């Protein structure tokens, strides 16, 4: 039995292995939960591992199509257009966030809104990714259901007879006679993988946006920093302010969030590395990095 399972696993692609592993974790977690509902933690761990397995398998399955799309004549223009769309979407939460922090209309703080737009850019990418994943979930679920519907007795015979019309060894004949059940199972697995990516993307977007809600004081400082028209003066002001924040009594979670946003700002404006280096070193030292 063990030998057969090992050989079965070796014959599978990486995507199929991930799907098989995800299904195994899901079944184990469900059985444990049915045996004793008190094992909620074990069930949640199994569900998490199953989601990661399905998401990894689906991501690997998608990668050749993404590379092909990138190499196609329209791939890069479409990606550039998508980047512009995501940047446009990031303006809306940025304006709302600035208005909430400053208690004034955001049009008075265009520079601050621009900086916050860049901060919300990763979150909006996660939101767009979750929307695309949701569309894929709907597509694969409906397609899988339609293919599975053809395996019912009456329709199964009809499609089997239809398959015999095609030449022997042709892909259409193999699919219509033997491959429909396997294809339905595969489509359902793709649906689970897309669903896992949808959940992870939406969760990541929510966590990212919730972390920025603690930056209201920072937004006020950025608005004040916008009063410096020259880049050297602005960098000096931001560096002094970030250094002051870095040496406040902060919790480990707050230090992690602050360090993340400091590095994002420095990557956006490389000149800030010279003035924010002390703050970054202090934050890393506090975390023991």
Is residue 1's pLDDT more than 50? no
Cβ atoms of 274 and 235 within 8 Å: the answer is yes
Q: Which residues contact 232 (CB under 8 A, 6 or more apart)?
A: 271
- 8: pLDDT confidence band, cut at 50, 70 and 90? low
Full-model pTM: 0.69
The pLDDT score that the predictor gives to residue 3 is 47
Query: Which value, in Å, is the radius of gyration of the alpha carbons in the chain?
Result: 26
The pLDDT score that the predictor gives to residue 170 is 59
Q: State the Cα–Cα distance between residues 275 and 266, nearest whole angstrom.
A: 10
Query: What average pLDDT does this structure show over 134-147?
Result: 90
């Amino acid at each position: 039995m063990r030998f057969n399972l090992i050989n079965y696993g070796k014959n599978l692609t990486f995507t199929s292995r991930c799907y098989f592993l995800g299904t195994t974790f899901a079944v184990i977690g469900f059985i444990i939960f049915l045996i004793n509902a008190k094992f909620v933690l074990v069930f949640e761990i199994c569900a998490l591992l199953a989601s990661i397995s399905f998401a990894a398998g689906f991501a690997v399955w998608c990668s050749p199509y993404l590379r092909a799309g990138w190499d196609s004549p329209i791939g890069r223009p479409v990606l550039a257009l998508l980047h512009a769309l995501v940047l446009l979407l990031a303006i809306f939460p940025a304006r709302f966030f600035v208005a909430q922090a400053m208690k004034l209309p955001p049009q008075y703080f265009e520079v601050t809104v621009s900086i916050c737009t860049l901060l919300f850019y990763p979150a909006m990418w996660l939101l767009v990714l979750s929307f695309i994943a949701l569309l894929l979930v709907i597509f694969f679920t409906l397609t899988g259901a339609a293919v599975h519907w053809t395996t019912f007795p009456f329709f199964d015979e009809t499609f089997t007879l239809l398959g015999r019309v095609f030449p022997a060894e042709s892909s259409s004949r193999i699919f219509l006679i033997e491959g429909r059940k396997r294809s339905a199972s595969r489509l359902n697995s793709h649906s689970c993988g897309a669903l896992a990516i949808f959940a992870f993307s939406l969760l990541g977007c929510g966590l990212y946006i919730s972390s920025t809600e603690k930056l209201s004081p920072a937004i006020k400082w950025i608005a004040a920093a916008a009063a410096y028209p020259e880049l050297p003066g602005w960098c000096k002001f931001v560096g002094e302010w970030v250094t002051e924040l870095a040496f406040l009594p902060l919790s480990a979670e707050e230090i992690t969030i602050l360090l993340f946003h400091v590095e994002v700002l420095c990557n956006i404006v490389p000149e800030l590395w010279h003035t924010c280096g002390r703050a970054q070193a202090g934050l890393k030292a506090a975390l023991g990095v």
